[in-house]
Amino acid sequence: MNVQRISAIFEKDIKDFMKNMMLLMMPLIPIVLSLMYTRIGGDEELPIFLIYLVVGVTFSAVTSSCMMTMMAEENEKKTLRGLILSPASFLDIMVGKSLVTGLITLISLAVSLVIIGIEPFFSIRAILGLVLMFLFFLFLGIGIGLFSNSIAATSAYLMPVMFLFGFTPMIRLLGLAEDSIAITIADTFPIMQAIEMHDSASWLPLGIITIWVLAAAIFMYVCFKKTMTDD
């Protein structure tokens, strides 16, 4: 990795981020959601599934959304290919662009958890779970952004990402039977596995989340190679 190249990409992206009103508004979504939940719940401790719902919204609406938009903007302006063909390596580009998203995600998530209750995350397992989920949503956002030809196109992809992976705990409120196919499939998703980790105090869910991260990383790399070889 080249620190100077990473720093240059980071500085460029942070300037672009500050100019984009849509990106500036996204980190406020989980914070506002946290404030709403605390007002509804009063002094009672929020259930784990609601806390992880806020976590899912943060990672989908901030992490994935920011990466999709920034990568798609590079595509739309025809600057992404130039960046790929520059001396900067794949790792330099990904780390440089991820630093901005990581910083914004950290701020948004920290504020949200302070509002709704950060105590459930005072353990190594919970922290590792958050890191793995961040990487999953980051890689997913990068991959989708790489094959999006415009910023407008990312809106069509963001909604499925948010509803499938960010709002997964909401499926429990639909009144479906525990043995239904929808519940069985949803239970394997990253956020649901993180909830299972809290409920069972098991390390196995972290292994399943790691598989999701590896799948998202492969998806991202395939999209990167396709972008690099496209005319």
Distance CA 189, CA 57 (A): 14
Q: What percent of the chain has pLDDT over 70?
A: 92
Average pLDDT over residues 15-44: 82
Looking at residue 26, its pLDDT comes to 87
CA dihedral 6→7→10→12, nearest 10 degrees, is: -110
Give per-residue pLDDT as tens, 155-180.
788 888 888 898 888 887 777 777 78
Looking at residue 138, its pLDDT comes to 94
Q: What is the mean pLDDT of the chain?
A: 84
Angle made by CA atoms 133, 139, 142, in degrees to the nearest 5: 140
Distance CA 25, CA 40 (A): 23
Give per-residue pLDDT as tens, 129-153.
999 999 999 999 988 888 877 777 7
Q: Which of 6-15, 84-93, 107-116 has the lowest mean pLDDT?
A: 84-93
